[in-house]
Amino acid sequence: MEATSDRYFESACRNLAFVFITVDDQLNVQFWNEAASRQFDRTAEQMRGRPILEILPDDQRATVQESLSRAITTGETADIEIKLPGVDHTVALVMIVSPIVDEQGRTIGASLGMRDITERKRLSQEVARTRRMAALGRVAGNVAHHFNNIFGGISMKIDSVLGSNSPLEMRRVLRGLAESIGQATRITNQLAAFAESENTTYAMVELNPLLTKFIEELRRRAKPLRIEIVTNIDDVASQPFETTRLMPVLESISQNAIDAMPSGGTLTIDMKRQGDDAAIAIRDTGVGMSKETLERLFEPFFTTKSGEDVGSGKKIGLGLAAVHGLISEMGGKIEIQSKEGMGTTVHLLLPLKGTPVSGSDMSGAK
Ligand code: ADP
Ligand code: MG
């Protein structure tokens, strides 16, 4: 058989390991290979000239018809997933629709290649489930660990005061207990933020004055740490903005930047209007992050920090987890770019919906 002959190609298509079907511009079947016969339990003889949509469950005909028609009228390819009821489970197929073009360049029909992806889907769902369970296990383990430490501390303090009659000692212990409870509350608040449990008390403030005030405060804190704060703040002309969630976000991101610059550096804060959003960028010249850190930084309890702050329950890897929850509650976006030794930039997009764009700030392009 000549390698360029029609018979050669027909044989190749007929014996393809995956379903291969062609239809004319009326969506009637022209070619139907062996794999199609096996998949749909109908022979090429039965199907030739029949509408292709016949083989599909009712609820999927419209989607497939649309992709086929689009392939025929515009020459666009499409990649769609279809589900067929099987004997004991649903079969998932990926269907690739491509136009068929004649010698004059006219589209005269479409081809459909299909592959069974049931097993692949099942496996990837299983992997996703295993990963979710593992992450959940880590979180649960960490919660247990931190609360055990706190409760252990509380018991010890109580034991120590039970044997004492000194009011001074009692007061000292009570202060310690209040601190322990504060630690526990900090953890539960951050976990609640991560879980996006709605905050109910809202403080409404315009974005520009809020940011200005925050930066003033930050500058005071940064100065003794030899961190210079550089700002580039456009007026984003926001209406009063919900800030209960935004303050801890700014606080947490800035604290991370400060932590990343133990021997000083520059912290740059930019804000500009970008369409319907305020775009805030917080950049530090600190130690940056490894790829592994970059992948896991939103994970609750993921931290690379150790020492006193961790002991006091402040830096235990809940900062960015909470930030993530708060930002998505606000309908915003967060993206973090970093390289080891090259500093870090945190980009925030905060929707200013309902805020009119005032004149020249409109462009957003810079
Ligand atoms: P924590 O600050 O308690 O460690 P976070 O959730 O705030 O937890 O941050 C998680 C980790 O992400 C940090 O331990 C650190 O490794 C990394 N990280 C976050 N921000 C920065 C930054 N600006 N520069 C370098 N590393 C950072
Ligand atoms: Mg932090």
Min mean pLDDT across 7-11, 139-143, 240-244, 331-335 is at: 240-244
Residues forming a β-bridge with 31: 22
Is 364 a residue whose pLDDT tops 50?
A: no
Q: Is the CB of 289 under 6 A from ligand 1?
A: yes
Q: Is the CB of 256 under 6 A from ligand 1?
A: yes
Burial of 94 (0-12, 13-18, 19+ CB in 10 A): middle
pLDDT tens readout for residues 306-320? 876 655 667 899 999
Neighbouring residues of 151: CB distance < 8 A, sequence distance ≥ 6: none
Is 17 a residue whose pLDDT tops 90?
A: yes
**Phi and psi angles of residue 94, each rounded to the nearest 5 degrees, phi first:** -100, 135
Is 202 a residue whose pLDDT tops 60?
A: yes
Distances (CA, A) of 190 to 185, 186, 307: 8, 6, 20
State the Cα–Cα distance between residues 139 and 284, nearest whole angstrom.
29
> And the tokens for 212?
């200005």
Neighbouring residues of 97: CB distance < 8 A, sequence distance ≥ 6: 64, 67, 68, 71, 77, 78, 79, 80, 110, 111, 112
pLDDT of 310 reads 57
Q: Is the CB of 304 under 6 A from ligand 1?
A: yes
Task: Give me the percent of the chain exceeding a pLDDT of 70.
Answer: 93
Contact 237, 361 (CB under 8 A): yes
Average pLDDT of 101-117? Answer: 93
pLDDT of 37 reads 96
Instruction: Supply angle C-alpha 224, 339, 194, rounded to 5.
Output: 75
C-alpha neighbours within 13 Å on the C-beta side of residue 320:
23
Neighbouring residues of 67: CB distance < 8 A, sequence distance ≥ 6: 78, 80, 95, 97
Q: Is the CB of 325 under 6 A from ligand 1?
A: no
Cα dihedral sign, 320-323-328-333: negative
- In the chain the first and final C-alpha atoms are separated, in Å, by 63
- DSSP SS3 for 344: strand
Q: Which atom of ligand 1 is nearest to the CA of 284?
A: 23
pLDDT tens readout for residues 232-282? 999 987 777 777 889 999 999 999 999 999 999 999 999 999 998 999 999
Distances (CA, A) of 147 to 53, 140, 265: 59, 11, 36
Min mean pLDDT across 136-145, 151-160, 197-206, 336-345 is at: 197-206
Per-residue burial over 329-353, b if 16 or more Cβ lie within 10 Å, else e, is ebebebebebeeeebbbbebbbebe
Is 221 a residue whose pLDDT tops 90?
A: yes
Instruction: Indicate yes or no: pTM above 0.85.
Output: no
State the Cα–Cα distance between residues 303 and 311, nearest whole angstrom.
13
pLDDT tens readout for residues 42-81? 999 999 999 999 999 999 999 989 988 988 898 888 899 9
How much distance in Å is there from the Cα of 149 to the middle of ligand 1? 22
Q: Look at phi and psi of residue 301 and say left if phi exceeds 0, alpha if psi is from -120 to 50, else beta.
A: left
Burial of 129 (0-12, 13-18, 19+ CB in 10 A): exposed
How much distance in Å is there from the Cα of 259 to the middle of ligand 1? 8
Distance of CA 225 to the CA centre of its chain: 34
Q: Which residue, among 47, 39, 51, has the nearest Cα to 95 in the 3D structure?
A: 39
How much distance in Å is there from the Cα of 24 to the middle of ligand 2? 61
Q: Is the CB of 299 under 6 A from ligand 1?
A: no
Q: Which atom of ligand 1 is nearest to the CA of 315?
A: 3
Q: Is the CB of 284 under 6 A from ligand 1?
A: yes
Min mean pLDDT across 206-215, 312-321, 349-358 is at: 349-358
How much distance in Å is there from the Cα of 313 to the middle of ligand 1? 15
Element (H, E) at 273: strand 265-274
pLDDT of 355 reads 46
